[in-house]
Every structure is written in structure tokens, then in C-alpha cells.
Chain A
Amino acid sequence: MSDPIPYRPLTPGSQPPLDSPAYGSTHKRHPKQPLLRIPQTLTETSAPRFSPERYPVQADMSQVNGRSALGERIIVAGRITDEDGRPQRGVMVEVWQANASGRYHHPRDQHDAPLDPNFEGRARIFTDEDGKYSFVSIKPGAYPWRNHWNAWRPIHIHFGLHGAGFAQRMITQMYFPGDPLLELDPIFQSTPDKAARERLISKFDLEITRPEWALGYRFDIVLRGREATPFENA
């Protein structure tokens, strides 16, 4: 049996370091020993096969049982490709976010902002044959956190991605254009490469916007690509 084709190492600067001093919670949680580089095997190049049959799609966060959530309705859409631009089909995308007031539907979130009974703030979708996905939501609100004095998270939506290899598994956050908090946010700022950082900011898109209904934002995502095959090297 031939060896699986490994995923390429992550590009230096494109990822935030585990030790990101401006983000206080990293202090006691980042490993101090260097990571052990291992040869990729089937364990890393295979991944769970998720299907909508067992993991049902939920693509509309803007309502609960037909009752509309408060806030500005939005459509988020984009394309998931690998580093070589190849569409990634059947990627399970998990999404979660705060409500329009900046509060999560979560017992530990004690921010003094109202909960919305018609907003749960989670979704699950799959990419199509062209790597495209979309969902409907409410524009989330900013919220305070205790990282430093007067700290506020820029508005964001959490994305969890399940690709074709466990080495592609990742969680990220999508931000919104023009948010003045981005400049001040140690989580957003922790990615060293400016272009990599800016790709976390969605773009307002009139093509995605639906007349009389909701503004559209585009957020494209890139998952790790594979090394060239031995054949391509030959």
C-alpha cells in the first residue's frame, strides 16, 4: 500500500503563535516544549466522514420556530478551498456566535446584555461540490472581556471546519469590515502576517445581499493543501 500524501506544513507567520503574550489566557496554557514533528500517516490524512443524515443541517440562525431574532439579518457565504485553490467538498462547517446585543446563549456568559429567546446562535452547514457554503444569521454584537482594562472583542462569528484530513481540522473567527475594535484586539492581532490577518475579515458583498431582506458578507476559507505528489515531482 502506498503512503498517503501528507499535508504541507503551515506557512510561517500565517498562524497565531500558541504563546501570544497580549492574550492573557495563553500564559498558562501554551506548551513550552517544541511540538514534536511527526510523519503524517493515515491518522492525520484521513478524517471523519460527516453526513447531513447523521449531522443535520441548520442553516438559519435568524429565527427559532419561525419567530425572528432581534438584530440586523445577514447572509454569510463563501467558498472553502485548499491552499492550491481546489474546492473542498463536503466540509462540515460549525458556526456559533453572540446575539445582536453581544451575549452568548451560554450559562457562563454573564455579560449584562439581554438574551434573545429567538436566537440560539449556532448553525451547521456543508460545502457543495464547488466548495461553497452559506447561512443566515443576525449581525453579532461586540462584548467586553477581561483580558485588559476596557477590553472589547470585535464582532465575530466562530467557524469550526472539518475537512478531508484530520490535519486540516481548524477553528477560526470571521470578523466584519470597518470594525474599530480590530486594531485593539490581541486575538485578531496575534497572527503575525498582515495579509493572513486581513483574510479573517469578511467583505460586504452586494451579490450576496438579498434585496429588501438581508445584507451579505463573503468569507472565503483556505484549508491546508497537500504536498505535491511523487508523480508531480518526477
Chain B
Amino acid sequence: MPETVTATADFAAAPISLWRRGMNSFATFAAAVSVILVLLPLGAVFGYLVYKGIGSINWAFLTQTPKPVGEAGGGMANAIAGSAFILLIASVIGVPIGIGAGIYLAEYGRNQLGNIIRFTADVLNGVPSIVIGIVAYGIVVLSQGHFSALAGGVALAIMMIPTITRTTEEMLLLVPNAVREAAYGLGVSRWRTTLSITLRTATSGVITGVMLAFARVAGETAPLLFTAFGNQYWNWKINQPTAALSLQIFTYAISPFDEWHRQAWAGALILIVLIVVAVSAVRLVAGRGMLKGAN
């Protein structure tokens, strides 16, 4: 592409008016400026996270529960563990359903019903997270009678499913039909082919989808506000209110105490590191996954 452009510009140098050349330069300049303007906040967010957060991460922060207002110290250990707990529940519910629905769409879904499900998954993907929170409240919290880790997990699972479904489908479709036919030719049944041949071939891609969904919900706060609710203490019971890293950051950020602000930055730094590690891992796996060579 760029070669063509320079060639043309050189060739037609004489007839191009000053105005047109000026517009061309201006457009290039404006596009470059907009890139800088977009990268600026990104750099600022990461810079501030490291600058403000790194000093507050210490052993106490990682191992202790929050101290009452006015007392220095304390940490977010229970919130980190709570986030992991809620995400585990979400994955246990969301990953199998998401992958199953993806398998259905790729292997059986070349029909009207498949199209409807595909469309619905895309719709579900766009539903605001706060609305999902209301629904999880209605389904789980109201029937249980109190806020719980399970309700938070259900809310996040609902958000994970459409992402996992669509990426699983895409990845399974990348597996060449010859592979399936080879298995059928050997007398392997269809379900066995799907599970141990097709799905297995697409494993790295499917894992990518799961990690993407995971990264997307790991920092979610809105759907946890009135489902997991938050907790100042340790909790390992599935039906009790549970702390979450994102909730703790929110509570601390809007509080009037400097000590809590400091801890909010530290929590945010930990959260972003977890997410960036997940996303980068995805790019590594997806970049050299065996699917690249599958076609």
C-alpha cells in the first residue's frame, strides 16, 4: 500500500494544487494527533496506577483484611480472595454453557434456530452490566433472602456466556472439515469426534475466548453492587455477602479518607496487572496457536 501512494504522489507532483497537497498533509497530521490524544489517557492511567499504587502494595496489604476508619494499615486480602471466589463460581457456571452453546452453533447450528441463538448471544453481549445485576438480584438474592457470592457469580456468568459462545463457534469453524471427515471415516461417532477431535484441535482458540471473557468480567463492579454486595471480613460461604476487589476499589475511591484512597490505588494496580497479564497471555496463545496453520 504505502509504495503505491508514494509512487502516485511523485508521478502526479506537478498538477496537484497547493490546496490539495495542504489538505493531504493536514489530514495526515490530524490523524497522527488523534492517535497521540488517545494514547495520552492510556499512558496517564497506567502511569498513575503504578506511581500511586506501587508504594502501597506491601505484605500487609496482601494478607490482611480492612482496618476500621482511622486506623492505618490493613489490606485487601479478603477482597482479592473474594474476587477469585466469585470469578470461580462464574467460570464454573458460564464456561461449560458458553462452550456448549458454541459447539451447538458450530456443529449443529447451520439453521434458523442457530441464527436466532447467534443473534441473541450478540444482543446479550450488549446488555449493560448494571441491568444484569438487577436480574441476578431478582433471580438469586430475592429467592435466597440475602446478598451472596453465588448471586455475584451468576451475574458475571451471564456476562461471560455470550463472549465464550461466539469465540468457541468461530474457533470450531476454523477447524477444517477434512479433520472431521477423517474421524468419521475411522468410524468414530459424531459426539466423540466433536469432543476429542474438533474441540481438541481448537483448544487454544477456545481458551483464548474464555480468557477474554474472564478479563472482561474480572474488573466488573456494577453487577456486583447488589449481588455480592461486599464484606469487610473473610468469607468462603457461597450464600454469604462477599468482598470483591473492584467493589473495594469503588468504596475506597469515593470515601473521604486519604488512607483508603491510597489503598484504592494499590487495589487498582493489582486488578489491572491481573487483567493485562490475562489479555497478553491470550495474545501470545492466539498468536502462535495451532489454529493459525489449520487452513
Our verdict on whether A and B bind, yes or no, reads no
